[in-house]
Each structure stands twice: as C-alpha cells, then as structure tokens.
Amino acid sequence: YMRSCLMSNCQRRFFRLLVSACAGILAVLYASCATAGDPPRIDYSDEKSILYEIETASKTLNTDPLEGLVRSRALLDNTNGFPEVQNLFNQASERSRAEFDIAVAAGRWSDALVLFRSLKALGIAPLEWSEALLLENRLLAWKNEGNLTLAHLDEPVQSTPEDEAPPSVIVSNMIKGTVTVWVDKGLRIENGVGYADRVIGSGFFIDHRGYLITNYHVIESEVNPEYEGYSRLFIKTGDDPDARIPARVIGWDPVLDIALLKTEIKPQAVFSLGTSEDLKIGNRIYAIGSPAGLEQTLTSGIVSAQKRRLLSLGNVLQIDAPINHGNSGGPIVDEAGRVQAVVFAGIEPYEGLNFAIPVEFLRIILPALYAGGKVTHPWTGSFGKTAQLAGSTAAMGVSVVYTLTNGPLSVAGMPAGTVVTSVNGVRVRTLEELQGVLIRERPGTIIKIAGIPPELLDESRFDSFTETEWYIRLSQRPELPGKKIFTTDVESRALLPVFGLDVERVGATKKYLVRSVVRGSIADESGFSEQDVVEIREVLFDDENKAVSIQLYTKRRKSGYLDAFIGLAASLDSPSYF
C-alpha cells in the first residue's frame, strides 16, 4: 500500500481516513523527528504528504477560514491532478467571504479590512466593496466614537523645519501638553536596606479625552506578566507637580517601545502628529520632557543622522538634543510644535548621542494601541538579506536565507534562496523596504509575494525573468524570533539565522560541515569559513539579556584545522528577520 506510485481513488479515501484517525500520532512523530534529523516539511511532490495537508487545511475552515484559504491555495499552486484541492479552495473562499460579511455587519471594520485585503490578494474580493469604502466606514466609526485623533490620522500637516526658535505661544502650548510619567515600584532591597524604587519618564497628550504617549520601557512593570513586584502608575502635570494623577495602560508595543496611557483629566493642550519624512540632517528639533524629574524641560538640537538601525522593525533618528534619564517617552517636535519623533534612548558615556522613534511608526500602530492590549506585528518566519546584482551595489530585492519550518513561506512552498522583489505589487529592493511594507499589515492577512526562485536566478539577466508568485499568510511575530527558531527547528538549521552558519550533518553525532557563512554575521566575524568542521556542545539562553550563546568544538580551515573550543553569542532578535 505504501508504494511510491500514484494511489487509486479508493486508496486516497482510505488514506484520508487513516490520516484523520492518526493525526495526533503523526504530530508526535513529526515533533520527535525535529530533534533527530531534518525537520518535517510539506513535500508537494509526495502524494501522502499532499493528502495529509488537504486534511489539515480542511480542519481549519470553520475555526480559521483564512488559514484554510492560504493552505488550499498553496496546494492548488503546487499540485496537479487532485480534484479535492480545487473543491477545498472553493469552500475556503466561500467561508472567508462569509466571515467578511459577518465583520461588516458587526461594524468590525479593522477585521473586515484584513479579510478584504486577503481576498483581494487572491483576486476573489467581493465586487460590491473596495478598500477605500471600508476605510471610509472605519473613519466614520472613529468619528462617532469621538476619537478625532484616529479620524485625522491620515491627514498629517507637512512640516517645514526652519533654523529658528518657535514662537513663545507655541512653546507655552507644547509644555502644557507634556507630563511626567511616574511608576512607583515600591522598595528595592540592597544589602538588607530598602530604597524607594521609581521609574521616571515623560509623556505627551494626543487626545482631548486624556490619552497620552510614552515609552513601553517606562511602564513595562504595569503590563509585563513576568514582573511579580509592586507597580503603580501615575502622571504629574506642570500645574501641580506634587499631585499624582492615576493613569492606566491602554495599549503597548514592546518591539517599537511605545505605549498609550489614559488618565481621567482633560489636558490643557494636545499635540498634533506631523510626519518626519521631510526631516533632513541638520534640521532643528526640540525635545520636551522631565530629565532627572525636572518637569517641562525644553532642549533643542538638530537631526544628526537618519536611518540608524536600532529597532528590529525599522530605522530611528539620531539627534543631538540633550537627553537624560526621565526624557524617555517625551516628544521631539519641530518649530510649529508638531511631533516628529518619540525619545527612547541615549548612550550615556557619549554626550549628544541620542535617538528617537520616527512619528511614522506611531501613526502606523496607533489604531492598534487604541484597540487595547499588546500590539502584535506580522512576519513571514524568515531571515534574509538585501540582494545585489553581480558586480554592482544596486539592490535587486531580498534574498530569503532561511525559512522557519512550517512557517508562512514554508507552507506556501517558497524555497530558501528566493529573491523577493515585490509585495502586493509594491516593488521592494531592500530588506528595509520589505519590512516597511509588512509592518503596515496585521498578522493573519494574506499577501501576494513575487520573486525569483533560486533555480531561475541569474543575476546577470535579472530583468528578463518572469516572477513567480506565492500567497503568504502573515503570522504573529514572536518577541524573540531567535528563540522561536531554536525551540521549533533543529539546532543545525537554527545556526544559520542566529549565527550565520549554514551546516550539514557529518555522521550520526552533532558534528557538522560548514557549507557557507553569511557575510557580516557573527560566524563570519569570528573567522569561520566553508569546509570548517563544528560540533555543538551546549546551547544556553540568557532570557534577561535576550541572548543565546553556543559552545562549539571546531576545526577551522583558517587555523590549519587545529582543534579549538569557541563560544559564540547572539541576540535573539535581529533586523534581518521579516
């Protein structure tokens, strides 16, 4: 029965029943395989694997129609001669459209947009609706709720920075709209003596109903489930700095380090969100905050640099305005008082070396912050690098170096080595551009990715290729992608995205031969090269510092194949994950 030849229809039905009855056993077997050899993958060339995937996709139709839709589309694109696949895709399409109708009827416009964009990517969106019409309805709902901040989110006033101080009336108004954020964490015990434990930051109002913005790291103890101590959140205004006004956290984003707070007072002034896209190096900016707890301090400086890669999902601004403890979460504004960025970091030993989160990121996540809870971001379960044309510095797209086992790209059938060139028809040439497109989507959305698979890639004739298309359902980005990879995939594959080592097994032990080394990676900087021999001795996770270290026994070509023990350490997050 388990022959490699094609099965009859009778055999197919029998096998589906067998798969359904033994799904739990197969899952356990797959999990055990992940620790012993190559991880399980969807093999679209194997009929048994296809039938198992059909069964898996069928089970998701009622609980998660979009998951069933994207899996059935992957089966449709990667198989031939299975009438069950077309039927499954039709069922998933109908179920997803029904889910869209339910979201529209309930006025859940953000959910309806996810469903519509997913259906649109597949070319099966309802003809009576458009994305513009859905956005119009969501805008009307925000206005009816009295949320004018979100209602005017897509109407930023363009900034025209000039090298002169803002008028005194604007300065006075800006200061009235800022507060000191105060987190009381009780007592800290050191050497048997208790000391007051406080976190001081800054914040600024964006809504007349009492909503304000600060940094996530300022209020982390309020929402982090791993924190077990005492924590109480207050704000202080300039009018009465001795009064502690209770506040609560509405939404928070650990990745972009932004949080939305709510207090029950009516602010005297609120800030308008500008757009930092027009800021240039040398433009004058102003920072307002509470350095060392000194409320409503105004400092000035210039934009020192742009596109500093300090966040996992995007670039930040480097500024030279004086920033100290207590400034975190305060606004960076232009001469007109419009917010251009949010202060979030400084390097203490270096005066004038400070950083701020561009306001564009705040604008992207603000609806999710108002919705409440932890903001999540999408990802494709991949690690990649900007690809360049041979003999040129011109970027051609994003090379997929690694795909997570059973992650979005793996399910779609996209092989590692593919160069991604567009997302939903939007051309992407660099990893930063790709992440800039993805961050605007919600997890769970189906997107269309176009690119060149490795077997067709010829950089010298790049423009002559017809791109291949894959349909990807974005999953939720883990807070620590590297740890997700290590706990999901086998160690040998995890070495590639985390340390930059692409290896293949040699024998039955944890001994491997290095096939390639990612340029610029930790392994590259540590002197590893092709044909080196490595043996994994120990992997240790440092949850406090969000890092992983690995101990290797190695024989390196550059060292004359002499025996050596080497330790490597890497962050569990990286700007190269997407």
What number is the average pLDDT over the span 485-509?
90
273 DSSP 8-state letter: B
From 217, 382, 492, 576, active-site residue: 217
Let me know: does 173 contact 325? Beta carbons within 8 Å.
Answer: no
pLDDT bucket at 349, cuts 50 / 70 / 90? low
Q: What pLDDT band is residue 341 in, cutting at 50, 70 and 90?
A: very high
How far apart are the C-alpha atoms of 172 and 534, rounded to whole Å?
63
Residues of the chain with pLDDT > 70, as a percent, come to 88
pLDDT at 291: 85
Give the containing element (helix H, strand E) for 287: strand 284-289
Q: Is the pLDDT of residue 7 over 50?
A: no
11-15, 47-51, 254-258, 393-397, range with greatest mean pLDDT: 254-258
Q: What do you get for the CA distance between the two ends of the chain, in Å?
A: 42
Partners of residue 570 on adjacent β-strands: 548
* Catalytic status, residue 208: no
Q: What is the pLDDT at residue 41?
A: 59
The yes-or-no answer on residue 217 being catalytic is: yes
pLDDT in tens, 513-527: 999 999 889 999 999
Give how far the C-alpha of residue 568 lies from the chain's centroid of Cα atoms, to the nearest Å: 25
State mean pLDDT over 91-109: 96
So what's the pLDDT on residue 52? 85
CA distance linking residue 401 with residue 383, whole number of Å: 6
pLDDT confidence of residue 494: 93
Q: 366, 255 in Cβ contact below 8 A? A: no
* Residue 289 phi, psi dihedral angles, 5° rounding: -175, -160
Short-list 88, 3, 1, 6, CA closest to 47: 6
Please count the helices (runs of H) and the strands (runs of E) in the chain: 16, 26
Output the six-digit token pair for 217.
């790291």
pTM for the whole thing? 0.86
**Given pLDDT bands bounded at 50, 70 and 90, which one contains residue 155?**
confident
Structure tokens at 1: 């029965």
Average pLDDT over residues 159-176: 67
The per-residue DSSP string of 479-509 comes to SSHHHHHHHHS-HHHHHHHHH-EEEEE-SSS
Question: Residue 432 carries which side chain, given as an amino acid letter?
Answer: E
Give yes or no for residue 80 having a pLDDT over 90: no
Q: Residue 460: is its pLDDT beyond 60?
A: no
The secondary structure of 222-259, three-state, reads HHCCCCCCCCEEEEECCCCCCCCEEEEEEEEECCCCEE
Confidence of residue 22 (pLDDT cuts 50, 70, 90): very low
Q: Quick one: what percent of the chain has pLDDT higher than 90?
A: 57
Exactly one of 159, 304, 328, 382 is catalytic; which is it? 328
Q: What is the pLDDT of residues 388-440, one digit of tens each?
A: 877 677 888 999 999 998 899 999 989 989 999 999 999 999 999 999 999 99
Confidence tier at 6 by pLDDT (50, 70, 90): very low
Q: Which residues pair with 288 in a beta bridge?
A: 298
DSSP bridge partners of 354 = 319, 346
Bigger pLDDT: 318 or 294? 318
Q: What is the pLDDT of residue 11?
A: 43
**How far is it, in rounded angstroms, from Cα 569 to Cα 539?**
10
**Which DSSP letter does residue 65 get?**
H
- The pLDDT value given to residue 465: 66
Query: Which pLDDT value is given to residue 14?
Result: 39
CA distances to 351, 384, 387, 410 from 429, rounded to whole Å, are 35, 12, 8, 22
Q: Which amino acid is at 165?
A: A
Write down the pLDDT at residue 164.
56
Instruction: Supply 477's token pair.
Output: 């980005």
The rounded distance, in Å, linking the Cα atoms of 160 and 305 is: 18
What six digits make up the tokens of 59? 């089970």
Contacts with 252 (C-beta within 8 Å, 6 or more apart), sequence order = 216, 219, 223, 258, 259, 260, 369, 373, 374, 375
DSSP 39: P
Q: What is the pLDDT of residue 8?
A: 44
CA distance 138 to 153: 12
Q: Of 96, 118, 159, 257, which one is the catalytic site residue?
A: 257
By the 10 Å C-beta count (0-12 exposed, 13-18 middle, 19+ buried), 49 is classed as: middle
Q: What is the mean pLDDT of the chain?
A: 86
In the DSSP assignment, the letter for residue 404 is: -
Quickly list H helices, 453-558: 481-488, 491-499, 522-525
- pLDDT at 24 (0 to 100): 37
pLDDT tens by residue, 276-293: 777 888 888 899 998 877
Pairing, β 419-423 against β 426-427: antiparallel
Beta bridge partners of 383: 402, 577
Among 161, 399, 174, 454, which Cα is nearest to 283's?
Answer: 161
257 noted as active-site residue: yes
The residue type at 513: L
Residues 371 and 110 sit within 8 Å (Cβ to Cβ): yes
3-class SS at 116?
A: helix
* Tokens representing residue 503 in the block: 């290896």
- Provide the 3-class DSSP secondary structure of residue 376: coil
Q: At what angle do helices 491-499 and 481-488 cross, to 10 degrees?
A: 160
The pLDDT of residue 163: 47
Q: What confidence tier does 454 reach under pLDDT thresholds 50, 70, 90?
A: confident
pLDDT for res 431:
94
pLDDT of residue 458 exceeding 80: no
Distance CA 69, CA 444 (A): 11
Beta carbons of 237 and 222 less than 8 angstroms apart: no
> Across the beta sheet with 547-555, what order do the strands follow?
501-505, 511-517, 533-542, 547-555, 563-571
Query: Over the stretch 249-275, which tens digit does the pLDDT of each residue have?
Result: 999 999 999 999 999 999 999 999 988
pLDDT digits (tens, 9 = 90+) for 182-211: 999 988 888 888 888 899 999 999 999 999
